[in-house]
Amino acid sequence: MNKDQVKGRAEQVKGAIKSTTGKVVGNTKLEVEGELDKAGGKAQATYGDLKEDVKDANKDAAKRAEEQRHLDR
């Protein structure tokens, strides 16, 4: 897990709390801010997920290349 995944998911939670609070107290501005925070958090978490996927793919490719080098000997 990387920092973008953690920060993004935390932002989603913060946004959900803000949005729900805004609905409960009838504060449309707070509700909208919460929805925006959730969307931004989702984008950041998705970016973090993609970074992690690329890192994993690179590790897998390096492992396969090393195995192939051993087979070629």
49-61 pLDDT, tens digit each? 999 999 999 999 9
Report the pLDDT averaged over residues 16-39: 98
Q: How many C-beta neighbours within 10 Å does residue 41 have? A: 20
How many residues make up the chain in this entry? Answer: 73
Is residue 37 over pLDDT 90? yes
Task: Output the pLDDT for position 16.
Answer: 98
User: Quick check: 42 pLDDT over 80?
Assistant: yes
User: pTM of the prediction?
Assistant: 0.82
Q: Which domain holds residue 62?
A: 3-72
Instruction: Give CA–CA dist 15/30, Å, rounded.
Output: 9
What total number of domains does the chain contain? 1
pLDDT band at 70 (very low <50, low <70, confident <90, very high): confident
